[in-house]
Structures are given as C-alpha cells and as structure tokens.
Chain A
Amino acid sequence: AQTVTQSQPEMSVQEAETVTLSCTYDTSESNYYLFWYKQPPSRQMILVIRQEAYKQQNATENRFSVNFQKAAKSFSLKISDSQLGDTAMYFCAFMIAGNQFYFGTGTSLTVIP
C-alpha cells in the first residue's frame, strides 16, 4: 500500500523567515515521483516543486527547496523568505510513473506579517 504522512496539521511562520514542512511516505516501488502542491484558500491546487526519486540532487525552485532522503522515505519542503502569499494548505504527494497521485492530509501554513 502507498501512503503519505504529513505530521504537522498546522504551522505558522513570520514573514521573511524560513519554514520546513515535513512529509514521509511508504512504497515498495523504486521508481516514483514526489511533489509538493499548494492550495490557497478557495483556489485551485498549484504545483510548487517536483522531485524524481532516481535523482540524488534535491530540487530547488526559487524560494522553495526540498530535502529528499530516499532511504528514510522523507521529502520535506523548505520555504525561504516566507511571503504573505505563501499562506495556503500544502500537500505532499507521490506518484508511481504514469498513475494516480497519493496525497497526504496537508499542512496548513500561515505566514504572519
């Protein structure tokens, strides 16, 4: 069975500070893809960052970066220089090539001015 666990239901961070959101997953597959999606209040889900499991180098997209630990099945998201627009629900997800996504339960992030 494929599972995704986000153990932090809610988090907050001061504007301009750095925050890390945790995610662990479980799968017996060796080839898969990991994602972080952002869902702002009442708005649609937006892809934040993706990571291929076969790549050792951690993905980075501007202020967003991941810490991918394949052996530990951990995939955390670091947001640097937090901005008010980062306030949203963040979902960790993984996909076995070409098939469905498995999502975690989400972490609600609030950026405090």
Chain B
Amino acid sequence: DTGVSQDPRHKITKRGQNVTFRCDPISEHNRLYWYRQTLGQGPEFLTYFQNEAQLEKSRLLSDRFSAERPKGSFSTLEIQRTEQGDSAMYLCASSLPGQYEQYFGPGTRLTVT
C-alpha cells in the first residue's frame, strides 16, 4: 500500500493554458474524489467517481474543468483556459467500498500567472 499519489506536485502555468493533473488511488479503492483547497480554507468538493463512473459534480466544476477515470484506476483532472482564480491546491482522495474515511494524496499546487 503506497498511498494516494498525485502528479505533478507543483505546476506553474500562464493564464489561458491548459493543465492536466493525475491521481493514482490506493489499489482496490473504487471511489476517487477531487477537492480544491485555497489558502486558509478547507478542501471543497469538486467531483467523485465510483469505478469509472463520475457520480457527482460540484457547481464549482465549471465547463473548463473535466475529470476522467477511464479504467476505474487512475484519474485525471484537466483545466482548460486557466484563470488566476484557479490557483489552488488540488487534492485527490480515495476510499474502499463500505468504508467512509477518505485517504488523501499530497496534492498538486497550481499557480496561474
């Protein structure tokens, strides 16, 4: 059990560029969650998957955001046409069927200049 991993850990991009983040959950965890955390705030839910199905999306997830989990294992979160307001820590978490605690990855810190 190597824990939830996220790549990259840091990303600096210019406004208007597209970025993609990857999350690898703990093996056998069928649920995968994405959160966004800004400075001084708690994480805010973006979306979650059960296996490959995206079951819920927050209103925070604008049309510029898209998430996938094509084979029910790793997931990607893409932000198109980045804006300065997208600067935040993007956290991924996973959980086992029937368990309610979520295990978090180290996050990807995005800075949009």
Point out residues on A near B: beta carbons under 8 Å.
Answer: 4, 33, 35, 37, 43-47, 50, 91, 93, 95, 97-106
- B91 contacts chain A at the CB level, 8 A cutoff: yes
Return the chain A residue nearest B48 by Cβ. Answer: A100
Return the chain A residue nearest B105 by Cβ. Answer: A44
Nearest CB of A to B104, in Å? 4
Alpha-carbon separation in the docked complex, A45 to B91 (Å):
9
Query: Which one, B35, B40, B103, contacts A105 given CB within 8 A?
Result: B40
Nearest CB of B to A47, in Å? 5
Contact residues of A: prevailing secondary structure:
strand
- Interface size, chain B (Cβ < 8 Å): 23
Return the chain B residue nearest A44 by Cβ. Answer: B106
The 3 A-B pairs with the shortest beta carbon distances in the complex, nearest first, are A103-B42, A100-B45, A45-B104
Nearest CB of A to B111, in Å? 15
Nearest CB of B to A98, in Å? 7
